[in-house]
């Protein structure tokens, strides 16, 4: 057991005297360590005082970096503009939410902001639109986390701020028989592959739009999703069959258009190879549902139905689903899908049932 000095500053172990000390790392966070090799406790205590003085001097210099004239609104606005890694759509959402919040934010210096102030602002915005409250919470967390790392504030007030509830989400999920009917009509559509990727792989619309043939591994039957929510997903055989059909169709269009063809390697593209419009997918789904006499289905509904089928399978938990869908946290997945019923039902069996000869092929 270590022997402590009379003042409790130094301690003796493994044949020499030691002392503990504090220091700031590269991120300006306080770290702790110990230094040894001293012959006497006096030497260890003298060294401790040197390290303590150095720590206090560094703390003083860091505090001088703070600009007490900087107000919270200006900091948040400037911080958002400096985030070059944000996609344009992400930046626009945060900018809009921040603009909504500004009207409810009283004047406050950055160094004076506290959790009560932030909780009040988030609460007001959440009452208006729950999803905006969550976005504001995300924005505050990132911005004030950076302010703390840069020593612009003494502590991060977001540690004590409550994350707002997302609110109950009304999912639009077709019953099994309507799913089959939907797919029967979808097979006649030029969007059939995209629909399968949404319904049986849980991909977002933009993820489908950005998919390239090079993202698919034919041997392992997987697809790599690029972008913010990077992941690798196992693909059902039905999707790979449609992928091969799509490849032949695109190669035919490329031959017909010749030099006028834009070869982007996209699986979802116009006849000349260019990207399709953002509204085209949901418009196609609307047409399919109208012909089938079904309630309207969106791309997000396909993703929700994928989540439902996966949670009804034997081996998929909320945690696993979080990775499959590319959510940032299990909390987000749980808030959206916790109300989905679970039962002894195999997702793969459902897919196989749909694609049997008794299913789609003979019906069409």
Chain segment 85-136, per-residue pLDDT in tens? 777 777 888 898 999 999 899 999 998 899 999 999 999 998 888 778 888 9
Q: Over the stretch 155-173, which tens digit does the pLDDT of each residue have?
A: 899 998 988 876 667 889 9
Residue 363 backbone class (left: φ over 0; alpha: ψ -120 to 50; beta: rest)? alpha
Query: Which domains occur in the chain, in start order?
Result: 3-64 (no CATH), 72-160 (1.10.150), 176-363 (1.10.443.10)
Query: Which pLDDT score, from 0 to 100, does residue 352 have?
Result: 55
Averaged over 262-288, what is the pLDDT?
94
Q: Over the stretch 219-248, which tens digit does the pLDDT of each residue have?
A: 999 999 987 788 999 999 999 999 999 999
Mean of all residue pLDDT scores within the chain: 85
Burial of 143 (0-12, 13-18, 19+ CB in 10 A): buried
Query: How does residue 317 score in pLDDT terms, banded at 50, 70 and 90?
Result: confident
Averaged over 140-151, what is the pLDDT?
89
Query: Which pLDDT score, from 0 to 100, does residue 190 have?
Result: 96
Averaged over 330-351, what is the pLDDT?
62
Query: Which pLDDT score, from 0 to 100, does residue 312 have?
Result: 84
The answer, yes or no, to whether residue 322 has pLDDT greater than 80, is yes
If you ran DSSP here, which 8-state letter would residue 211 be given? -
Give the three-state DSSP class for 11: strand
| Tokens found for residue 193 | 């592959």
Do the beta carbons of residue 98 and residue 77 sit within 8 Å?
A: yes
* CA distances for 282 relative to 90, 152, 205, 219, 277, angstroms: 21, 46, 9, 32, 10
Query: Which pLDDT score, from 0 to 100, does residue 153 have?
Result: 86
Query: How does residue 335 score in pLDDT terms, banded at 50, 70 and 90?
Result: confident
**31 vs 215, more confident:** 215
Closest to 203 (Cα-Cα) out of 180, 181, 172, 226: 226
| Tokens found for residue 39 | 């012959």
What percentage of the chain has pLDDT greater than the value 70? 88
């Amino acid at each position: 057991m270590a022997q402590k000095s009379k003042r409790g500053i130094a301690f003796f172990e493994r044949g020499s005297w030691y002392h503990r000390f504090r220091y700031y790392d590269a991120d300006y966070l306080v770290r702790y360590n110990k230094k040894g090799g001293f012959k006497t406790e006096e030497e260890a205590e003298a060294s401790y005082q040197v390290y303590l003085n150095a720590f206090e001097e560094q703390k003083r210099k860091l505090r001088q970096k703070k600009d007490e004239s900087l107000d919270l609104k200006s900091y948040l606005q400037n911080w958002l503009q400096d985030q070059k890694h944000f996609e344009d759509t992400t930046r626009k959402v945060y900018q809009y939410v921040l603009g909504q919040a500004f009207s409810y934010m009283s004047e406050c210096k950055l160094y004076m902001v506290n959790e009560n102030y932030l909780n009040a602002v988030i609460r007001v915005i959440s009452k208006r639109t729950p999803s905006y409250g969550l976005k504001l919470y995300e924005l505050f967390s990132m911005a004030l986390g950076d302010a703390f790392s840069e020593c612009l504030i003494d502590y991060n007030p977001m540690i004590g701020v409550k994350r707002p509830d997302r609110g109950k989400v009304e999912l639009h999920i077709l019953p099994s028989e309507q799913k089959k009917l939907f797919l029967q009509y979808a097979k006649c559509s030029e969007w059939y592959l995209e629909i399968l990727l949404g319904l049986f792989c849980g991909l977002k619309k933009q993820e489908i739009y950005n998919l390239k043939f090079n993202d698919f591994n034919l041997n392992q039957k997987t697809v790599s999703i690029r972008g913010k929510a990077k992941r690798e997903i196992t693909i059902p055989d039905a999707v790979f069959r449609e992928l091969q059909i799509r490849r032949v169709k695109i190669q035919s269009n490329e031959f017909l258009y010749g030099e006028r063809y834009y070869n982007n390697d996209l699986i979802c593209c116009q006849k000349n190879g260019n990207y399709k419009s953002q509204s085209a997918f949901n418009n196609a789904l609307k047409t399919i549902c109208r012909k089938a006499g079904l309630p309207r289905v969106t791309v997000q509904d396909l993703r929700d139905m994928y989540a439902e089928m996966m949670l009804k399978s034997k081996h998929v938990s909320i945690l696993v689903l979080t990775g499959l869908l590319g959510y940032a946290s299990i909390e987000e997945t749980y808030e959206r899908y916790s109300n989905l019923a679970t039962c002894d039902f195999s997702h793969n069996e459902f897919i196989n049932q749909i694609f049997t000869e008794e299913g789609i092929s003979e019906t069409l």
